[in-house]
Amino acid sequence: MEEPKAEGTAESKIANPESESKSSLDREVSALTLANEFLNREISRLEKERDGLLRELKYVTAGYSWRVIRGYRQWLAHHQNSAFARFSESLTIWILSRIYGRLETDPEELYQRWMTEHELTPARIDSIAAAILAFPYRPLFNVCIMARDGIVDDSLSTAITSIQAQIYENWQACVIGNATENERLPAASEQHAQHDSRIRDTIPREAEFLVFMDQRGELSRDALFELALQINRNRGADLIYWDEDKLDRRQLRHSPFFKPDWSPDLILSMNYIGRSFALRRSLLDKVGGVRLDSYDVVLRASEHSQEIIHIPKILYHQHKAGESWEEREALEGALRRRGIRSKLVDSANGHHFVRYEIRGHPRVSILIPTRDKRDLLEKCVDSIVKKTDYDNYEIIILDNDSNDADTLRYFEQIADKASVLHCPGAFNYSAINNRGTDAARGEFLLFLNNDTEVISPEWMRALIEQAQRPEVGAVGAKLLFRDRRIQHAGVVLGIGGRAAHAFRLLPGDEPNSPELANVIRDCSAVTGACMMMRRALFEELGGFEETLPVDFNDVDLCLRLRHRGYLVVYTPLAVLYHHESASRHFLPSHSDDGTFVRRWSGYIAAGDPYYNPNLSLAKLDWSVCV
């Protein structure tokens, strides 16, 4: 008689391949269903927010005051160089300040107001808790507290306390230090682990994401929630970073850094990601594991993945910390790994310039539209000839119906320096420059206003070394007014509902000038007053859009480049004076702004990726929006 088989024996546990396959498929279907439900809820929530904002916008723009302000702004834009316009603007500000009180301009005061508006209230905490319950995926985070310069007990305790205060509770933490601290690390971890088992002395393998922070920093209470939310929205994310501010000795927050989205050129100029970010475990393993230098980790990770997400929220607070003693070494290593032939130059503000080796000795065609105004054109041409340290260029003057006798004589006098191409007819910047390119013989085109003057001898080299890069579409310069204030340091989409120059009228010389005005970085657009690009690429795009004869044709060209996947780069190493259309005090708009807005409304509404959504769209000074 056969004995019955005991339940749970090896024979009874032989797996059925079809059953396992079906079970695995069911789990995948269930996970996808939950993810789909979550994303549908997110879409519904965002649509409600959008509809509410559109109703508010419609209410505001339908008002009488908005129509008056819009008309005034248009008038001011076309008369910005006149003394009467400047007087009118000052008078308007004085009247408004008398009626409504003086506008707050101190950045720290503005930030204090911003913090009040974005305070983590009990109602917000309750909504976060409810959202966590709805997550289809609740990733386990391991928070790595970096103690690279030796353990500081008080700071470490504060950092751990900020982790324990997280609303999202699926986390573990550990302390990582350098080799000289190995004996103290277990003791430091054990001391805190006695009260919380989630604090470990090693990094657990089951954690899918590692969150890095400095021991002198603190995470905001909602930091890990926001991170989990982004991962649920972007399941392919590999590297995630966020905005930050600083803490003083009294634990008061100040000096916010509202970061741009991923900027491959800015990260080679400065470690703008900072010391707190999250990285997928599999990517970390690929780049060699945990390293104490956060800059090195970010640079290596960005070489293996483009799934880089920016959370535009202040989620980290940094106490004063020492400078990274390996930053230059990390950057030099990244350039070697990428095979970039260049030299690294330290900037005066402690950041870096990657100076790319110019391939060959390419010819540059400088195209300068003009009409009369010999004094301006002569200064421009003389500054090019006398100051430029690059010799393979040609100057082509694009004459738009000059009739001043002195100017016409000047054209004859500079025959050995420049050629003159006559472009008759109504002024159309786009058409004039397009015609000029037909006569150009250079591999690179340099569009230059007649009211500019060269300041830095290396200006043309600085433009060429960026424009020659295959991934770069256009490159722009740093332009200053005669009093050394900034006229152009990149273009920001959305300011004033259209586009405007970043940092305009702020100090142009270090150390008082804005940090981002003094580093090579990516922008959505640069001004055509001094812009270089490869001739072949310009022709591939069909040149400037001639239905934009006066305004926004340069921004339109840059956005077409961006749409094709090219980068637009700003370099502060090319420095010129710009008197900003001094030869034409007034030009009708020809509905350029309406044409531009209709064409690029989607891009404008989406927001400039290199301009944080927490910053003001009503000012040019990179100040916080309150």
Q: Do 103 and 97 touch, CB atoms closer than 8 A?
A: yes
Residues 71, 157, single domain; the answer is no
Residues 332, 369, single domain; the answer is no
Q: Does residue 285 lie in a domain region? A: yes
- Report the CATH number that the domain containing residue 563 is assigned in CATH: 3.90.550.60
Last residue of a domain, one of 340, 356, 390: 340
- Report the CATH number that the domain containing residue 288 is assigned in CATH: 3.90.550.10
Q: Does residue 261 lie in a domain region? A: yes
Residues 139, 89, single domain; the answer is no
Q: How confident is the model at residue 111 (pLDDT cuts 50, 70, 90)?
A: very high
Looking at every residue in the chain, the average pLDDT score rounds to 86
In this model, does residue 380 exceed pLDDT 50? Answer: yes
pLDDT at 288: 84
pLDDT at 484: 93
In this model, does residue 589 exceed pLDDT 50? Answer: no
Q: How confident is the model at residue 80 (pLDDT cuts 50, 70, 90)?
A: low
Tokens read off for 429 = 């910047």
- Give φ, ψ of 43 to 5 degrees: -60, -45
Q: How confident is the model at residue 188 (pLDDT cuts 50, 70, 90)?
A: low
Q: Does residue 624 lie in a domain region? A: no
pLDDT tens digits along 291-337:
768 899 999 999 999 899 999 999 999 987 655 557 899 999 999 99
pLDDT at 79: 63
Residue 430: half-sphere exposure toward Cβ, Cα within 13 Å = 18
> In angstroms, rounded to a whole number, what is the distance separating the alpha carbons of residues 297 and 239?
10
Average pLDDT over residues 36-44: 73
Residues 136, 245, single domain; the answer is yes
Q: How confident is the model at residue 5 (pLDDT cuts 50, 70, 90)?
A: very low
> In angstroms, rounded to a whole number, what is the distance separating the alpha carbons of residues 170 and 228?
10
Long-range contacts formed by 282-287: CB under 8 A, 24+ apart: 283/238, 283/239, 284/210
Average pLDDT over residues 561-590: 78
> In angstroms, rounded to a whole number, what is the distance separating the alpha carbons of residues 353 and 519?
7
> In angstroms, rounded to a whole number, what is the distance separating the alpha carbons of residues 215 and 205?
22
Residues 88, 218, single domain; the answer is no
Average pLDDT over residues 195-206: 80
Residues 311, 390, single domain; the answer is no
> In angstroms, rounded to a whole number, what is the distance separating the alpha carbons of residues 76 and 390?
39
Structurally, the chain folds into a number of domains equal to 3
Q: What is the DSSP string of 548-600?
A: -SSSSHHHHHHHHHHHTT-EEEEEEEEEEEE--STT-S----TTHHHHHHHHH
In this model, does residue 427 exceed pLDDT 90? Answer: yes
Tokens read off for 621 = 């000074």
**What is the extent of the structural domain holding 160?**
122-340
Residues 401, 252, single domain; the answer is no
pLDDT at 82: 66
Residues 397, 537, single domain; the answer is yes
The helix, strand and coil proportions of the chain, stated in percent and rounded to the nearest 5, come to 40, 20, 40
In this model, does residue 4 exceed pLDDT 50? Answer: no
In this model, does residue 517 exceed pLDDT 60? Answer: yes
pLDDT at 143: 95
Share of the chain above pLDDT 70, in %: 81
Residues 467, 560, single domain; the answer is yes
Residues 400, 540, single domain; the answer is yes
Average pLDDT over residues 606-617: 94
b/e burial code for range 475-490 (CB count within 10 A of at least 16 → b): bbbbbbbeeeebbbbb
Which has more pLDDT, 387 or 81?
387
In this model, does residue 21 exceed pLDDT 80? Answer: no
Residues 515, 569, single domain; the answer is yes
> In angstroms, rounded to a whole number, what is the distance separating the alpha carbons of residues 508 and 321?
28
Q: Does residue 161 lie in a domain region? A: yes
Q: Does residue 511 lie in a domain region? A: yes
pLDDT at 372: 93
pLDDT tens digits along 151-163:
777 788 899 999 9
**How large is the C-alpha radius of gyration of the chain?**
29
pLDDT at 1: 46
Q: Does residue 45 lie in a domain region? A: no
Q: Does residue 556 lie in a domain region? A: yes
Residues 478, 582, single domain; the answer is yes
Q: What is the pTM of this model?
A: 0.86
> In angstroms, rounded to a whole number, what is the distance separating the alpha carbons of residues 466 and 469?
6
Average pLDDT over residues 394-400: 97
**Would you call 378 helix, strand, or coil by DSSP?**
helix
Q: Does residue 385 lie in a domain region? A: yes
> In angstroms, rounded to a whole number, what is the distance separating the alpha carbons of residues 364 and 372?
25
